[in-house]
């Protein structure tokens, strides 16, 4: 069962343009619903009339599923007693003449135990075990009543299917949460629940199969480990709140410093043994700098307002961030290329990876809140040196036009030319002949192009992965913006701080003859030059507010710059993540 917005969210009709794949699936299910129900009824009647049944659990299954409640208009689920299950599940049991899948004459066996244990352990994966019937499964586990064992078998099947789907693709639909979260980044493959259950049923090693459902990339596993550690911190009472006050600099004394030492000890930033000193010494300053680095703060060692605010975020909030970002990794394809580029929008950083090794890292600038950078995956296919900047309509209308009205010489001063249209052979026009006040909204008839040069808004190069969002990576003449901690300044494209290094890295994957000297020679020609990559580089534009460094194992938390975390948290855990129940291991029968 998939999950999208909580109650009160955006109506489905407003979201269909961004979720065409869902509309297709929903239409498909609606079209075949009458046919499916007819088939189920025929199968059930055949099963009841044409087979001698002696197994009491099989008889109980027949009674349980034949007395189910059919879905009402607009619904797709069935009611089995007080539980909701999918229609395919009834069809599966009908095809088996109502024989149980996981329960035998001795009760639940080893395979049932594997499924039940996996469902209970879904708590460790940041999921809610009760979404997979954990409470009822635990309660029925040692029952000898045939009706209860029949229900147990059904709930194991339904829970397994839902767990497998949530692990493979995430529990939520990203495009229903935010139109800038594109489903193309999700895991693809067969989403047939019947096929999933049969695959598990026929698996030679069920434990291995269940383990294979989890995302295989280390980023997910590292967050799972961090979740365990932060839950332990929460169980021990969390960390102390630090009172407000003036900034603390190295060498100063302050009565808050013992609490700060304890706070940083709990999260592993401070490894000193003196927890009571009120002196801000060098050892504590190093711990503060590590904390600042982990929270994308200015690394100055000064315990100021922003650093104190980050220290005072409660452990429960950090746990929620970890849970949210584990879900985001479940959206991601589970198999990734060894060499790949990550851009983390929330972290304002780019990492070039080779397996789990970071080969290149640099700060980036991303889209401002009103021009969000979208989340998707693609491949960098070419580099354009000394690029033209074909100015988008919205920028021409909202930014260029007001400047032209104030200063008719703006185009010439900024090396911008104007063309009669958007075709390649559109004639160039003389900008001085226009009365810009009269042009108004008709400005979109014309194409504005900024030629290569030191003031070109794209800088000296851009990195292109053709996509429907017109997003790419590029250089920038605004080097001053990289000094900021929060770097959401662009119109949606991504500005890289070290374009020469990035170009060299990409080109070296094709041909080791590429070096800085060769690239600079092209740049010095000041002529637009396109170099196509022989081996297009996979790029994943992500939104992660919690990540773990694969080399150091240190977790970092980032500001939710686009305000996406709370919406996802509500969709994942409508009752609140703190209410997720952890169940003890199954008692032996």
pLDDT digits (tens, 9 = 90+) for 183-225: 444 554 456 888 889 999 999 999 999 999 999 889 999 999 9
Number of H helices, E strands in the chain: 21, 19
Which pair of structure tokens corresponds to residue 113? Answer: 């135990």
Nearest in space to 241 (alpha carbons), one of 275, 269, 266:
266
Q: Tokens 């909202």 — which residue?
A: 398
pLDDT at 20: 39
Helix H or strand E encompassing 244: none
Cα separation, 41 vs 38, whole angstroms: 5
Q: Classify the phi-psi angles of 570: left when phi > 0, otherwise alpha if psi is within -120 to 50, otherwise beta.
A: alpha
Of the chain, the end-to-end C-alpha distance in Å amounts to 31
Q: Are 96 and 87 in contact (CB under 8 A)?
A: no
Cα separation, 567 vs 176, whole angstroms: 10
Q: Where are the alpha helices (DSSP H) in 187-314?
A: 193-201, 206-212, 218-235, 257-266, 282-294, 305-311
Cα angle vertex 124, ends 178, 375, to 5°? 20
Give bridge partners of residue 279 from the DSSP assignment.
253
Q: What is the per-residue DSSP string for 406-427?
A: H-TTHHHHTTEEEESSSSTTPP
Cα separation, 155 vs 182, whole angstroms: 32
pLDDT at 418: 93
DSSP-derived 3-state class of residue 455: coil
DSSP-derived 3-state class of residue 75: coil
pLDDT at 74: 44
Q: What is the mean pLDDT of each run of 10 residues along the chain (589 residues)?
A: 38 37 38 40 46 77 74 50 74 90 91 97 96 94 94 95 93 81 52 86 96 92 98 97 97 98 98 95 98 96 98 97 96 89 98 94 96 94 96 90 91 92 88 85 88 92 94 96 95 97 95 91 94 96 95 95 93 81 83
Q: Are 298 and 482 in contact (CB under 8 A)?
A: no
Q: Are 135 and 583 in contact (CB under 8 A)?
A: yes
Helix H or strand E encompassing 555: strand 555-557
Q: Where are the alpha helices (DSSP H) in 538-579?
A: 565-572
Strands (E), 337-429: 339-344, 349-354, 357-367, 376-385, 389-390, 416-419, 428-429
Helix H or strand E encompassing 483: none
Give bridge partners of residue 496 from the DSSP assignment.
364
Rounded to two decimals, the pTM is: 0.85
Cα angle vertex 327, ends 321, 329, to 5°? 105
pLDDT digits (tens, 9 = 90+) for 527-550: 999 999 999 999 999 999 999 998
How many angstroms separate the most distant Cα atoms in the chain? Answer: 94
Q: Are 77 and 87 in contact (CB under 8 A)?
A: yes
Alpha-carbon radius of gyration of the chain: 29
Q: Classify the phi-psi angles of 21: left when phi > 0, otherwise alpha if psi is within -120 to 50, otherwise beta.
A: alpha
Q: Tokens 């060098």 — which residue?
A: 282
Distant-in-sequence, close-in-space partners of 484: CB < 8 Å, separation ≥ 6: none
Which pair of structure tokens corresponds to residue 489? Answer: 């300044």
Distant-in-sequence, close-in-space partners of 266: CB < 8 Å, separation ≥ 6: 233, 238, 239
Helix H or strand E encompassing 325: helix 315-331
Q: How many CA atoms lie within 13 A of 77 on its CB side?
A: 10
Cα separation, 420 vs 429, whole angstroms: 6
């Amino acid at each position: 069962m998939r999950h999208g917005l909580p109650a009160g969210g955006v109506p489905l009709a407003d979201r269909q343009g961004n979720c065409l794949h869902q509309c297709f699936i929903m239409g498909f299910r609606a079209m075949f619903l009458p046919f499916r129900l007819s088939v189920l009824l025929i199968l059930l009647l055949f099963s009841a009339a044409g087979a001698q049944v002696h197994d009491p659990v099989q008889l109980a299954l027949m009674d349980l599923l034949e007395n189910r409640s059919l879905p009402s208009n607009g619904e797709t689920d069935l009611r089995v007693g007080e539980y909701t299950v999918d229609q395919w599940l009834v069809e599966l049991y009908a095809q088996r003449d109502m024989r149980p899948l996981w329960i035998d004459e001795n009760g639940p066996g080893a395979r049932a135990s594997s499924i039940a244990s996996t469902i209970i352990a879904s708590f460790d994966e940041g999921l809610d075990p009760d979404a997979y019937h954990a409470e009822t499964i635990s309660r029925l586990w040692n029952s000898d009543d045939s009706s209860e064992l029949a229900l147990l078998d059904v709930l194991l099947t339904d829970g397994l299917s839902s767990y497998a789907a949530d692990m493979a693709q995430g529990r939520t639909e990203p495009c229903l949460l935010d139109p800038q979260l594109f489903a193309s980044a999700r895991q693809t493959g067969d989403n047939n629940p019947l096929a999933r259950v049969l695959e598990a049923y026929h698996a030679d090693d069920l434990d291995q199969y269940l383990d294979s459902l989890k995302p295989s990339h280390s980023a997910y596993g590292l967050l799972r480990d961090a979740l365990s550690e932060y839950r332990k911190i929460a169980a021990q009472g969390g960390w102390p709140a630090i009172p407000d006050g003036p900034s603390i600099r190295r060498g100063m004394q302050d009565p808050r410093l013992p609490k700060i030492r304890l706070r940083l000890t709990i999260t592993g930033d401070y490894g000193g043994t003196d927890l009571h000193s009120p002196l801000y010494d060098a050892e504590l300053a190093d711990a503060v700098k590590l904390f600042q680095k982990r929270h994308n703060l200015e690394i100055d060692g000064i315990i100021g307002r922003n650093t104190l605010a980050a220290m005072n975020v409660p452990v429960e909030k950090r746990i929620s961030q970890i849970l949210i970002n584990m879900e985001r990794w479940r959206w991601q394809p589970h198999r990734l290329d060894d060499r790949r580029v990550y851009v983390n929008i929330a972290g304002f950083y780019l990492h070039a990876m080779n397996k789990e090794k970071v080969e290149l890292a640099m700060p980036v600038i991303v889209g401002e809140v009103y021009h969000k950078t979208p989340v998707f995956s693609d491949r960098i296919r070419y580099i354009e040196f000394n690029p033209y900047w074909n100015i988008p309509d919205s920028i021409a209308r909202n930014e260029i036009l007001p400047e032209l009205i104030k200063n008719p010489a703006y185009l010439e001063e900024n090396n911008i030319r104007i063309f009669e249209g958007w075709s390649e052979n559109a004639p160039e026009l003389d900008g001085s002949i226009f009365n810009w006040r009269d042009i108004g909204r008709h400005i979109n008839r014309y194409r504005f192009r900024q030629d290569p040069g030191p003031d070109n808004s794209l800088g000296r190069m851009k990195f292109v992965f053709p996509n429907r969002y017109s997003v790419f990576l590029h250089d920038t003449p605004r080097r001053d913006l990289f000094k900021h901690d929060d770097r959401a300044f662009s119109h949606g494209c991504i500005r890289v701080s070290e374009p020469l290094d990035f170009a060299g890295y990409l080109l070296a994957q094709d041909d080791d003859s590429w070096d800085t000297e060769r690239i600079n020679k092209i740049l010095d020609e000041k002529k637009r030059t396109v170099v196509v990559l022989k081996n297009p580089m996979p790029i994943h534009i992500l939104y992660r507010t919690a990540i773990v460094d694969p080399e150091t194992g240190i977790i970092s938390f980032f500001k939710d710059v686009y305000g996406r975390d709370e919406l996802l948290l509500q969709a994942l855990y409508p009752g609140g993540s703190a209410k997720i129940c952890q169940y003890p291991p199954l008692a032996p029968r």
